[in-house]
Amino acid sequence: MSSLSVFFPAYNDAPSLPELIGRTFEVLCAHFTDFEVIVVNDGSQDNTAEVLAALAAEHGSRMRVITHPENRGYGGALKTGFESATKEYVFYTDGDGQYDVRELPKLWALMKPGVGLVNGYKLERNDPWHRIFIGKTYNNFARLLFGIRIRDIDCDFRLVRRDLVQKIQLRSTSGTICVELVKKIELTGCGVAEVGVHHYPRLHGKSQFFRLKSLASTFMQLIRLWIRTVIRGR
């Protein structure tokens, strides 16, 4: 079996992490022999640090915790995760538990020769109606603006080849990093596959994306990213 790095960006996700990490080791031990689990604690203000320390002690050398003293944003957490990964393939999803990591084998089954990215898409979004509306609007706008082929940019359930990520420079610090990541991988010309995954209601904490300040910042970063990758690319 090929080697796999799994990482999770976490910000105030203490309540969801024990079950998430438990399920992660359950699925990895069943399907892989060479793997690592990384959690990026992005300046959490709850007891995430204490929870992660206990989990790391439980799982030993196969689990690493990387801590940002201050919050760097979703993009900053993802960049740290990719930079810290050491295995041939990298999978990530969010630390809030809205995706089931046990569906990872569905992505792995599609990682064939020539494929560089396997992206999940939500079979049904389990969020309040206004978040569903904003999410669909953002997804359609970004796909149109950047000419991205995958159907669900907003689904953070991804498996990528690490050598591809090493070839591209990720600069975004907000949620626009997902658009940047997918667009730049598509520009490499590698194959891209998609598979439906389940999305669950958020049981703990609050989303950092669906706030007026965050949405405004994301929009501005999206426009700057479009200028860098599309306009200058032409």
What angle (nearest 5°) sits at the alpha carbon of residue 189, between those of residues 183 and 191? Answer: 90
Break the chain into its structural domains and give their ranges.
Answer: 4-231
Starting at the earlier edge strand, list the strands of the sheet with 191-197: 63-68, 35-42, 4-10, 89-93, 157-161, 115-122, 191-197
Share of the chain above pLDDT 90, in %: 70
Question: Rounded mean pLDDT of 147-157?
Answer: 93
Q: Which two tokens stand for residue 174?
A: 């907000």
Instruction: Determine the pLDDT at residue 129.
Output: 79
Q: Give residue 7's pLDDT.
A: 98
The average pLDDT across 150-174 equals: 92
Instruction: Pick the more confident residue, 134 or 5.
Output: 5
pLDDT of residue 206: 62
Asked if pLDDT for residue 212 goes beyond 70, the answer is: no
- Check residue 225 and give its pLDDT: 84
Give the pLDDT confidence score for residue 208 in this predicted structure.
54
Q: How confident is the model at residue 130 (pLDDT cuts 50, 70, 90)?
A: confident
Cα(149)–Cα(123) distance, rounded to whole angstroms?
17
Q: What is the pLDDT of residue 44?
A: 96
Residue 204: pLDDT band (50, 70, 90) is low
Superfamily of domain 4-231: Spore Coat Polysaccharide Biosynthesis Protein SpsA; Chain A (3.90.550.10)
